[in-house]
Structure 1
Amino acid sequence: MARHEDLRGQVAIVTGASSGVGWQSAVRLAEAGVRLCVTARRQFALEQLRAEVLQRGGECLVCEGDVTVPGDVERVVRECVAHYGGVDLLVNAAAVQSYGYFDRLPWEHITRVFDVSCFGYFRFARAVLPHFRQQGHGHLLNIQSMLASGAAPLLSAYSAAKHATLGWAKSLELELAGTGIHVSNVLVPSVSTPMFDHAPTMLRRRPVPVPPTYDVDLVARAVVRLAKRPGRTSVPAFLQGRLMLALDAVAPWVGKAVLGRLGARMQTTRTPLERPDGNLFSPVAQGVGPRGSVPPTPAWVRFTATLGLAALAGGVLGGAALGARSVARAAR
């Protein structure tokens, strides 16, 4: 695993930087001394981000573009390299999602989710890899999701896209072994981004993230840590992260039972909302900045839930161990 403890002077392209994880990751990287090239569809939002970065003493180049348009992707990389003389880090953060039952989602929503949240990563990776190979080093850092290793109702297209993207990243890591080019991933839990404020929904009710919700800065700090020590997959949350992965490994029926019975209800409110397209095909004015309207879950609530899940996991593990001992005794 490579180490780059000092990020000062490195150049990073951050996609999806007009809001959420992309925005906050750009801010945190700038604080660490990284020179930024930020891109998204909303020029006015990127200019606001640039102003914040400059206030913090950083450098920031704004390049408006759409990750689904190959010409835009190539232009962003070209302008970044021309401006800074190279690029060291790509943070793939652009993503969209659409809420609805799979058989009721418009087909164009499904393909668009893949085009942005999966193929957008591929396009930018293909655009920067020649530069990485030429200079003998580089870092692809992908903002993934806990849904890349799990699932949730109403988000089948997004979950599938994230599974595909994580599988691609793991394969790419093997292909790039020994080249000096590293691949990292962050498995993101539900975070307080504006994604839920501009995502389309077929349900006619306001969507919300699966609780608990973490502050978006949790992910941004993980991005900086991975930028310093690349080549890993980070799971920055405990309750809706490492604990859930461990519980799913020993008792997958728990998650299936909870999400199967309550998952749809957990992701919708009673607030009526007509938003059939949201920001899926065209950018919208709302939802600029790192945080959206859904606040992070209070720490004491997460702590209480953690104790409950830990007790459940302990009971499951204890039951499994007892069963194994009984089988061993019976076999004697």
Structure 2
Amino acid sequence: MARREQLSGKIAIVTGASSGVGWQSAVRLAEQGVRLCVTARRREALELLRKQVEASGGECLVVPGDVTVAEDVERVVRECLARYGRIDILVNDAGVQTYGYFDQLPWEHIQRTVDVTCLGFLRFAHAVLPHFRQQGSGHVLNVQSMLSKGAAPLLSVYSASKHATLGWAKALALELHGTGIHVSNVLVPSVSTPMFDHAPTQLDKKPVPVPPTYDVDVVARAVVRCALKPGRTVVPVFLQGKLPLWMNKLAPFVGDFILGRYGVRMQTEDQPLHRPDGNLFQPVPQGVGPYGSVPPTPKWKRLTAVVGLAALAGGMLGGAALGVRGLVGDVSHR
């Protein structure tokens, strides 16, 4: 009950709320007593979310809009203020990704991905920050990605967008030091969202997330934790979160080897699929709600993957050490 009281009555705008992490985060925040203003391009999907929230006793305002359109962003903020009188939390979640080799992506896909996934975050923060400053408090809570600190083949533009957004968020936090306004980030692993069901692909194959895939609710609960204790960067999982960050510091060549050799295969299925534009420029009816067609990976498979990665890393580290010793020995005999 104490946790709920900390957030009860707070006002939150949630972007990208028509599906996936945005939808589920809105549901979890409403359970904590947060009053919502939800936005995305698809009004019908947002109305379904509103009904779910209100059926559980929550309050939810629906304001459709496109994060790439400044007038839409300003309207969402204006209508939220008109309804509730203030804004306490901005949950930046809207994002798109497009699958393909960088040099084979249409340039308009590159621009659109950056515009939504990076500049959409900046537009909303730019619109709400004057209100945060006026009231002396507020929270910009960004749903980021593990690709904010890494990379994956076929997702070069999405990776670039997330790197840029995390860098912006860190700089923003420094600028807001001492103002009472906080900035938080949640680094999301592969999750069972509908993003993969409406993302465009240039490969004519069905795109899938890099395994393992986590339940979308794992991220939604992390969003709630950040709302309760703002000002942090949270990594909510181990195998596709804390472990690769740790390995990237100690043995970056392990991840590079795996994704360089198997990354494309990991992210595609043999099932033919012609979806060159997906939901980039126009919303699509598929993929409403928190879950997509790719289910979460069972826990036992995730544990097996940990053991396999540990063995691979150990073998590669051992090989690297032997190579260094051999080089040193060769030099010492010259």
TM range (shorter): over 0.9
1:270 match: 270
Residue 313 of structure 1 and its aligned partner are, at CA, apart by 4.7
Counterpart of 1:153, as a letter, is: P
Counterpart of 1:129, as a letter, is: L
1:208 match: 208
**Secondary structure, aligned partner of 1:6:** helix
TM-score (norm 2): 0.93
**Secondary structure, aligned partner of 2:37:** strand
Runs of 4+ in 1 over 2 A off after TM superposition: 307-323
2:178 match: 178
2:295 match: 295
2:189 match: 189
Residue 55 of structure 1 and its aligned partner are, at CA, apart by 1.1
Counterpart of 2:14, as a letter, is: V
1:283 match: 283
Counterpart of 2:122, as a letter, is: F
**Secondary structure, aligned partner of 1:74:** helix
2:115 match: 115
2:8 match: 8
Counterpart of 1:228, as a letter, is: L
Residue 205 of structure 1 and its aligned partner are, at CA, apart by 0.5
C-alpha change, 1:321 and 1:275, in structure 2 (3 Å) is closer
C-alpha change, 1:318 and 1:182, in structure 2 (3 Å) is farther
| Deviations, residues 111-133 of structure 1 (Å, cap 9, x unaligned) | 00000000000000000000000
Residue 307 of structure 1 and its aligned partner are, at CA, apart by 2.3
Residue 56 of structure 1 and its aligned partner are, at CA, apart by 1.2
Cα RMSD of the aligned pairs, angstroms, is 1.9
Structure 2 alignment gaps of length 5 or more: none
Give the number of equivalent residue pairs.
324
**Mean alpha-carbon deviation: is it higher for 189-198 or for 308-317?**
308-317
**Secondary structure, aligned partner of 1:164:** helix
**Secondary structure, aligned partner of 1:118:** helix
C-alpha change, 1:263 and 1:131, in structure 2 (3 Å) is same
Once the two structures are superposed, the pairs formed by residues 159-174 of structure 1 within 5 Å of their partners are 159-174=159-174
Residue 158 of structure 1 and its aligned partner are, at CA, apart by 0.3
| Deviations, residues 199-221 of structure 1 (Å, cap 9, x unaligned) | 00000000000000000000000
1:129 match: 129
Structure 2 distance, partners of 1:274, 1:319, is: 43
Structure 1 alignment gaps of length 5 or more: none
**Mean alpha-carbon deviation: is it higher for 62-71 or for 302-311?**
302-311
Counterpart of 2:239, as a letter, is: L
* Contact map agreement 2:219 2:236 (CA 8 A) in 1: yes
* Contact map agreement 2:5 2:32 (CA 8 A) in 1: no
* Contact map agreement 1:250 1:317 (CA 8 A) in 2: no
